Amino acid sequence: MSIETTELTTPGTPPAPSNVAPKVHQRRRQRGSRVAGIALRTPFWVLTGALALIFLYPLIWTGVSSFAPLAGTNQTNGWGFGNYETLLDYQAGIWQYALNSTIVSVLTVAFTLIISLLGGYAFARFRFPGRNILFLVTLAILMVPYATLLIPLYVLLNAIGLSNSLLGVALVLTMLQLPFSTFMMRLSFEAVPRELDEAAQVDGASTWGVLWKVLLPAVKPGVITVGLFAFLAAWNDFLAPLILINDTNLLTLPLAVSNLRGQVQGVVDYGATQAGVVVLALPCVLLFLILQRHYVRGFMSGAFKG
């Protein structure tokens, strides 16, 4: 863990521009060479355009062909929603699985936000015995393989009656989010000047009041980043529900779509799988495009991971 964290952008600094724009190397372009510049740049545009296409093509292709006719799917004649109809009829129905995924995601986001908000506040503003050890142990979660934890968690959750439950999955996913979110919230709180809470305390506010009325607005960008990452992790997680959930009615979307492939006498319904991928990916891609700035910032301050 000798990775330098000192250079990290702290959450308190003004939000980084959505493009992680490294300082533009200011090049003085002479006006005369502009035409030559365009001529020189054309291969660059063609090359990088092709690059962009490689990254976008699989997504676009999946989106388009989920509506396209294909033998062996529910959409054999012309274009339409046949593959999505397959999803509706698949076992408990796509709505049930989407609901399960939503429950897991909402619970995980809520737990992660509450716990890391309170924890980050504690680590940033209070001195108490065991503070450093607790913080280090929280970060140590990153060093332990996921699979190493899931085997004993399977046994532990069974013992306390949380096996085969969406709540159990959400708690496990919350634990996995804690290193990033606690670190992020601690940085966010530390970036707020202490004078702010001291002034409020002189005015008679309790620590609880300071947290909600004074600090929460100041750390809002950190909260959004932590929430976004918790949502994406929970919505997409595959391994925890694979191991912890047995009941087919409680499966989450990634598992349901993955299981769907082998349903009809071993013949894979590729069309329905594509429709499933669209349902899985669409919320994530939309969230990414809307909250790009927070996404990028999360990566930047998440750069301690490992």
Partner 1 sequence: MTALSVRAAKRARKPRSRAVTGWLYAAPTAAIVIGFFVLPLLLVFQMSGSDWPLLAGNQGLNLPENYTEAVSNRFFWDSIVFTAKYTVITTVILLGLALGLALIVQESTRWNGFLRIAILVPSALGLASASLLFYVLYSPFAGPFAGLMDSLGFTFLGTPDGALWSTVFLIVWRFAGFYMLLMLVGLQGISDDVYEAARMDGASRLRIFKDITLPLLRPTIAFTTVLCVTGSLLAFEQFYILTKGGPDNSTITVVQLIYSVAFQGQNDLGVAAALSVIVLAALIVINIVQIRGFSRKAED
Least CB distance to partner 1 at residue 96 (A) = 18
Q: State which of residues 12, 239, 263, 293 lies at the interface with partner 1 (CB under 8 A).
A: 239
**149 near partner 1, judged by CB under 8 A:** yes
Q: State which of residues 91, 154, 165, 218 lies at the interface with partner 1 (CB under 8 A).
A: 154
Q: How many binding residues for partner 1 (CB under 8 A)?
A: 109
Contact of 123 with 131, CB cutoff 8 Å: yes
Q: Which is nearer to partner 1, 88 or 199 (CB)?
A: 199
- Tell me how far apart the alpha carbons of residues 282 and 260 are, in angstroms, rounded to a whole number: 19
**207 near partner 1, judged by CB under 8 A:** yes
Q: State which of residues 93, 214, 277, 293 lies at the interface with partner 1 (CB under 8 A).
A: 277
**145 near partner 1, judged by CB under 8 A:** yes
- Tell me how far apart the alpha carbons of residues 106 and 297 are, in angstroms, rounded to a whole number: 22
Nearest to 166, CA basis, from 249, 256, 232, 257: 249
Restricted to residues 2-21, the positions that interact with partner 1 (CB under 8 A) are 2-4, 7, 9, 18-21
Q: State which of residues 28, 77, 126, 195 lies at the interface with partner 1 (CB under 8 A).
A: 126
Restricted to residues 44-103, the positions that interact with partner 1 (CB under 8 A) are 45, 48, 51-52, 54-56, 58-59, 61-62, 65, 70, 72
DSSP helix/strand/coil, 103: helix
Token duo for residue 213: 């009325």
**30 near partner 1, judged by CB under 8 A:** no
Q: Which is nearer to partner 1, 61 or 95 (CB)?
A: 61
Least CB distance to partner 1 at residue 23 (A) = 6
Handedness of CA 275, 280, 283, 285 (dihedral sign): negative
Query: How many Cβ atoms from other residues are within 10 Å of residue 38's Cβ?
Result: 10
**CB-neighbour burial class of residue 133 (10 A; exposed 0-12, middle 13-18, buried 19+):** exposed
Q: What are the CB-based long-range contacts (under 8 Å, 24+) for 216-222?
A: 216/117, 218/188, 218/192, 219/11, 219/117, 219/120, 219/185, 219/188, 219/189, 219/192, 221/11, 221/15, 221/188, 221/294, 221/297, 222/11, 222/120, 222/184, 222/185, 222/187, 222/188
Least CB distance to partner 1 at residue 110 (A) = 12
Least CB distance to partner 1 at residue 220 (A) = 19
**1 near partner 1, judged by CB under 8 A:** yes
**191 near partner 1, judged by CB under 8 A:** no
Q: Looking at 76-84, 86-94, 217-225, 284-292, which segment touches partner 1 (CB under 8 A)? A: 284-292
Phi and psi dihedrals of 268, rounded to 5? -80, 130
Q: State which of residues 98, 107, 113, 232 lies at the interface with partner 1 (CB under 8 A).
A: 232
**134 near partner 1, judged by CB under 8 A:** yes
Least CB distance to partner 1 at residue 288 (A) = 4
Q: Which amino acid is at 241?
A: P
Least CB distance to partner 1 at residue 94 (A) = 14
